[in-house]
Amino acid sequence: MQQRGATDITLVEGGRGIFEIRAAGQLLFSKAKSGHFPTDAELAALPLGSV
């Protein structure tokens, strides 16, 4: 994520196996919705520069 220009990354402990990637309050990826952790390709496709 930092290699793609994300400069302020915070890991927030959650519960129930929830894993989400958010930027500027916008949900970019949800393990609960997709059923899996993001692949490298999915991470590379996240619109980090637009949020």
User: Please, is 8 exposed, middle or buried when counting C-beta atoms within 10 Å of its C-beta (0-12, 13-18, 19+)?
Assistant: exposed
pLDDT digits 0-9 by tens, 4-48: 566 667 777 777 878 888 888 889 999 989 999 999 999 889 887
Cβ atoms < 10 Å from Cβ of 38? 17
Give Cα separations from 45 to 1, 4, 19, 33, 51 (angstroms): 11, 10, 17, 17, 13
Segments forming the whole domain that contains residue 12: 2-50
- Token readout for 37 is 């952790």
Number of domains in the chain: 1
pLDDT value of position 13:
76
